[in-house]
Amino acid sequence: MAIMIQDGTIVNSSELFKGDILIEGEKIIAMGIKLEGRAAKVVPAKGKYIFPGGIDGHTHYALPLAGTHTAGFATTTAAAVGGTTCVIDFSPQPFGMSLMDSIVKHRAEEAESKAAVDFSLHAMVMDAAQQRIFEELPALVKAGVPTIKLFMAYKGTPFMCDDATIFRMLQACKKAGMLMMLHAENGDMIDVYQKQLLAGKKTDPKYHATSRPPVVEAEATARAAYLAKAADCPVFIVHVSCTEAMMALRAANLEGVNIFGETCPHYMVLGVENLAKPDFEGAKYVCSPALRESRHHDQLWRAIENGWLQVVGSDHCAFNFKDQKEMGRGDFTKIPNGAPGVENRLAILYTYGVLTGRLSLQRMVDVFATAPAKFYGLHPRKGSILVGADADLVIFDPEYSGTITVKTSQQGIDYNAYEGLSQKGRPEKVFLRGELIVDKGQYVGKAGQGKFIERQPYGAAYRGRSVRKMPPK
Ligand code: URP
Ligand code: ZN
Ligand code: ZN
C-alpha cells in the first residue's frame, strides 16, 4: 500500500521545494509536484518541512567507562523522537579480543533486537598492542564496517594510542578504504595538567576544562593532519570543540590534506559556566573535549554554515548523575566523561542555528543527515530524500514551541544537558523505512525494529577536499 506525504516543503542539502513524496514498502518510489491519485493513504504535510531522517554518526550506547556503563540501545527511542533514524555506535574493544569479534559482540549483545532506529557500528581500538588490529581492516569492510576510531587522549586507559599506532593504522586504512575517526586531544599534556590541579586541591568539575584547554586540542588536531598527510590517507576529527582546533583543521584542509571534522550541539550552545554549576552539578557537563567559553560558539556555527566542519554528531554518552557522575566527587578526573544529546541534536540546530540566521535549512540538513551519510558510507541509501532511498523521513512542525526537559526525555537517564532551553519546532512524524515510528512527537514504533545497516568503504573523505572555499564573513 503506497503512502503519499502531500504538499510539504521538502528539504535536501541540494534543493528545497514544495511537493509530494510517495513511499512503497521501505523505499521512496517517487517525489515531485502533485503526485495525486497514486496512494491509498495520504499524510498531509502542508506547512511542514520534510527532512531526511537524521544520521547520528557518534553515539556511545554501550560504553564501559570508569567501571560503569552508559544507557543502552533500548533508549534509542530518544533518537527517533529527535528525528534521527540511524545511529552509528562505537564498539569498544575488550582486552584481548579482535576488532571483528568486538563488533560481532556489540551487535549481538547490545544492539540487535533492542534498537528503535537503524544502526551501524564503528570499530574502536582499545587494545593497541595486538598486531592483528592492523590486519583485520579488510574483514571489517567486508562486514559493512568501514570506519574506526582511535584516541590521542585518555592517558592511562586502554583508549589512548601513540603516534606510531595511529600512523600505522592510517596506512592500513588507506589500503582498505576505511575512514579513521580521531579523538584529537594531547593525552600527555592533559595528564600533566590533571596531576598539577589535583596536587593544588583543585578537584571540582570546572577544573576538567582547565585540564584540557583549547591548545591541547589544537596541537593534536594539527598533529593528526601531519600524520594523515604523511600516510596520504584521509582523517576525520570527531567532536571539534573550539576555534583553535577548527582553524588547525581548516588550515590543513586548505593546504590539501584530506582532513574533515565534526562538532556537536553542546559545543555550540553550552559552556564553561555549566561546568561551574554548584553542588557538583557541573559533573553533568563533563565530556571531552571540555565545554568552552562562549567566544567559540559563533565560530563553530560559522564553521558548519561554511563547510569548514562538515558534520554535527551528538557524541551521545548517557550516564546518570546519581551514582555514575557522582563517582567523581572529590576528584574531577574520576567523573565518567560524556553527555547525553541524541534526542536534541535537530532541536538545537533548528532553534539556535536556523532560527537565529546562523545556519540555512539546507546546511542544517547537510550536517544533520546528508554529510554524515556520505562520510560514513551510507549514502545514497540514507541521508537524502531520493527515489530509491530508504523512506526515512521527518515531518517537522515548525510551529511547535516547548522547553527541553528531562521530564519528557526518552534518553533513560536522570538529567538532560539542555534542561530549560526553549525549543522551536519538532519532528511531528518520523518514518523509518516506510513505517511510522513517531506520531504527534511521541514514539509509536516497536523495540527491535531498527536493522543493522552495512556501509560502504571509500566515503566522501576519499573524494578529495570538500571544504567549501568561502570568504570569511
Ligand atoms: O566525553 C566523551 N566524549 N565521552 C565519550 C567518549 C569520547 O571520547 O567520545
Ligand atoms: Zn572521543
Ligand atoms: Zn564520543
User: Which listed ligand is nearest to 59 at the C-alpha?
Assistant: 3
- 195 CB-near residues (< 8 Å, 6+ apart): none
| Cα 48 to Cα 50: distance, rounded to the nearest angstrom | 7
| Cα 430 to Cα 442: distance, rounded to the nearest angstrom | 10
Determine which residue's CA is closest to atom 7 belonging to ligand 1: 288
Residue 472 has pLDDT above 60, yes or no: no
Name the band, by pLDDT with cuts 50, 70 and 90, for residue 464: low
| Cα 320 to Cα 254: distance, rounded to the nearest angstrom | 41
Backbone φ and ψ of 317, nearest 5°? -150, 90
| Cα 99 to Cα 90: distance, rounded to the nearest angstrom | 11
How many angstroms separate the alpha carbon of residue 124 from the centre of ligand 3? 11
Name the band, by pLDDT with cuts 50, 70 and 90, for residue 66: confident
Name the band, by pLDDT with cuts 50, 70 and 90, for residue 67: confident
Residue 466 has pLDDT above 70, yes or no: no
User: Of 54, 124, 123, 114, which is closest to residue 412 (Cα–Cα)?
Assistant: 114
- The secondary structure of residue 160, as a DSSP letter, is B
Question: 423 near 403, Cβ under 8 Å?
Answer: yes
Residue 267 has pLDDT above 70, yes or no: yes
- The secondary structure of residue 269, as a DSSP letter, is H
Q: Is 392 in the pocket of ligand 1 (CB under 6 A)?
A: no
Q: Can you give the pLDDT at residue 465?
A: 53
What atom of ligand 1 comes closest to residue 151's alpha carbon?
8
Q: pLDDT (tens digit, 9 = 90+) per residue, 223-258?
A: 999 999 999 999 999 999 999 999 999 999 999 999
Report whether the peptide linkage leading into residue 52 is cis, meaning its omega lies within 30 degrees of zero: no
Pocket test for ligand 1, best of 287, 311, 319, 332 (most atoms within 8 A of CB): 287
What atom of ligand 1 comes closest to residue 183's alpha carbon?
8
Residue 56 or 464, more confident? 56
Pocket test for ligand 1, best of 315, 316, 325, 342 (most atoms within 8 A of CB): 315
Angle (CA) 423-424-426 rounded to 5° is 95
Percent of the chain residues past pLDDT 90, beyond the cut: 96
Q: Can you give the pLDDT at residue 463?
A: 85
Determine which residue's CA is closest to atom 6 belonging to ligand 1: 338
| Cα 6 to Cα 320: distance, rounded to the nearest angstrom | 41
Burial class of residue 62, CB neighbours in 10 A (0-12, 13-18, 19+): buried
Cell of 242: 573550539
Q: Can you give the pLDDT at residue 1?
A: 85
Q: pLDDT (tens digit, 9 = 90+) per residue, 173-193?
A: 999 999 999 999 999 999 999
How many angstroms separate the alpha carbon of residue 98 from the centre of ligand 2? 20
| Cα 376 to Cα 455: distance, rounded to the nearest angstrom | 7
Name the band, by pLDDT with cuts 50, 70 and 90, for residue 361: very high
Name the band, by pLDDT with cuts 50, 70 and 90, for residue 467: very low
Region 329-352: what's the mean pLDDT?
Answer: 98
Q: Can you give the pLDDT at residue 68?
A: 85
